[in-house]
Structure 1
Amino acid sequence: MMRKLMAVFAHPDDEGVMSGTMAHYIEQGDEVMLVCTTRGEAGEISDPVLATPENLGEVRQKELEEAARIIGVQQLVFLDYRDSGMAGTPANDDPRCLLQAEPDRVIGDLVALIREFQPDVFVTFEPFGWYGHPDHVTTGQHATAAFYQAADPVRFPEHGAAFQASSLYQSVFLFTRFREIALAAKAAGYIEGEGFFSEEPRPEQVAIEQEITHQLDVRPYVDLKNQALAAHRTQFGEDDEFGKIPPEMMLEFNGYEQFVQVYPEPDGALRANWASSLFL
């Protein structure tokens, strides 16, 4: 029987944090639905030849379509909300953006997808959204609400029969490990700067790492992960600092993907001895 995994993220390229996991399960014969709540319209443009601010969302949609093809994702869905931009920027106030959307509208969109797709495993952001991006935080909040409300027949009856997915996970961006690698790469002369990894980890980032319950060894998929990430050309240009870090240094980060089990509530043993499969 085919198992199903549904992942909900905010922008094209967010999927890279668990692309190895998706590829692994797809190779096992499982089905994956990837949902992106925005098209990344407020993102940076690595090369003005690739896109303009006016068409960036369209370009990034195509980039994610290519990345999903490389990973093998069977179903890719975009919601029609605009990128809210980084915290404190004018994009936060755009009435079309995810941050300004009525919560029940977004939750309802996701409930409809959950009830239609009927995933066994459901994955989204942890509460801090990796580094506090408003769209990451908002997507995680609404996706988590949708996970529970999809199982409630009173909520959104217009979207079909209630459905309870088997498990809910939060995807973890292992900031401390990436920062260690970035600092080591800088010391070795591979890169000149370490970007926002120059900052000490936020308490929220340290705390979520203490909650990890699952780690998947995705080293066999590192080349595929890199190919999929390279599809996001507007975000990772030829001069991208982290692209200069030798693969062997990045393996400790790229080769493993971490998750926090939220539902069913895990026991303490899982945090002491990480599990290696998301399917219960």
Structure 2
Amino acid sequence: MKKLLIVSLGIIVVILLALPWVLILVGRNKLHDHDIPQREQLIPDSPGQKVLAIFPHPDDEVTVAGTLMKLKKQGHMISLACLTRGEKGKSSGIQDEVELARLRTSEMEKSADLIGVDQLIISDLPDSGIEDLGMDSLKKVVLELITALEPDILISYDSKVGLYGHPDHRLTGKAVEKVFLHHKGKEGFQPRSLYQVTLRKKQVDVAMKLSSGFQRNYPENPEMGLPEPDFSIPTRPYFSQILQVMQAHETQQKVLEDLMPFHDKVPAWIYSRVFDREYFREVK
């Protein structure tokens, strides 16, 4: 009887020890495919490059925070441009747009410090009103940023969807892409590469079940969906810092829950092994 009890306890211990790894394997299978190559570095064999990430809102940088941290550690100079102050992001219940813009500016500054950004630029374009500017005006804003900062590498949203369909996201990605493709190789235009953050189809399928933002905005037609990634960047060593970046955006916690659902309920050592990479498409 005693021997049977010991064996039973041993089996229970093995099951308990194995369960988290089963969850990790299931989670990875739900979100990732092995056919997408993984790069250790976004910028291989090119030390000391200048990187400029351009996004419309405070908190958009969370989508590439791990990659930016890795680039910083590898010795590259990181600039981050935020085109608006996010005054329309009222998920926290704050209705005063002046106060919300002030809070989100402060949150963006804290996030940039956590990432290790060398230069943060926050512009005053209208949140959820970028479409009203017109593409020519938006391209001018983007070109002025690039001309002033002279980056070697650009990072932004894709030009088809803007990750989950927000017009500001899509138009920002489209403007950056248009400027890059029009000016690439011309005298005085420094950037040689543009990388757009994107997702695997598996990730989109999961997001459509869990994320209200995706459910409201993502295109129903699969052909209009996100571009397929060319590669991913492993970011697991930076996961605890990525969570800090997310937490810095205190007014946007409901929105960020869509980006990483249940991140505050699953142990970080498990979660970080499922959400362990960021996907990119290179514009050529």
Same fold flag (TM > 0.5): yes
Which consecutive residues of structure 2, in runs of 5 or more, have no partner in the other structure?
Answer: 1-46
Structure number with the bigger relative contact order (C-alpha 8 A, sep ≥ 6) is 2
TM-score (norm. length: structure 2) = 0.71
Equivalent position amino acid for 1:102 in 2: G
Instruction: Determine if contact 2:163/2:226 at 8 Å carries over to the other structure.
Output: no
Residue-by-residue CA offset, 1:34-70 (whole Å, 9 max, x unaligned): 111111111124265xx73332112111101100100
Decide which of 208, 214, 217 is 2:226's aligned counterpart: 208
* Shift in Å, 1:242: 3.4
Equivalent pair of 1:176/1:201 in contact (CA under 8 Å): no
Q: Matched residues, percent identical?
A: 30
Q: Which has the larger radius of gyration?
A: 2
Question: Taking structure 1 as the reference length, what is the TM-score of the superposition?
Answer: 0.72
Contact 2:165–2:219 under 8 Å retained in 1: no
Within 5 Å, which residues of 2 pair with 1:114-133?
Answer: 114-126=146-158, 127-133=160-166
Q: Shift of residue 105 of structure 1?
A: 2.4
State which of 101, 106, 114 in structure 2 corresponds to 1:70.
114
Task: Name whichever structure is richer in helix by fraction.
Answer: 2
Instruction: Report the AA paired with residue 202 of structure 2.
Output: T
The alpha carbon displacement at 1:129 in A equals 0.7
Paired residue for 1:233, among 244, 250, 256? 250
Distance apart, 1:121 and its partner CA: 1.5
SS in 2 for 1:162: coil
**Shift in Å, 1:100:** 0.6
Look up the SS of the partner of 1:145 in the other structure. helix
* CA deviation after TM superposition for structure 1 residue 253, in Å: 5.0
Distance 1:176 1:24 in 2: 25
Residue by residue, what CA displacement relative to the aligned partner does 1:134-185 show, whole Å, maximum 9, x if unpaired? 10111111111222344486xxxxxxx63141111111145733754896xx
Amino acid at match of 2:189: F
CA RMSD of aligned residues (A): 3.0
The equivalent position to 1:134 in structure 2, one of 167, 177, 181, is 167
Aligned pair partner of 1:13 in 45, 59, 81: 59
1:143 to 1:224, Cα distance in 2 relative to 1, 3 A: same
Q: Which of 86, 107, 124 is residue 139 of structure 2 equivalent to?
A: 107
* Deviation by residue 1:207-254 (Cα, 9 ceiling, x = unmatched): 535x211200010000110001100000016x9563434135533553
Structure 1, unaligned runs of 5 or more: 85-96, 154-160, 184-192, 264-280
Number of corresponding residues: 232
Match of 1:83, as an amino acid? D
Stretch deviating more after TM superposition (217-226 or 165-174): 165-174
Determine if the alignment matches structure 1 residue 58 to structure 2 residue 91: no
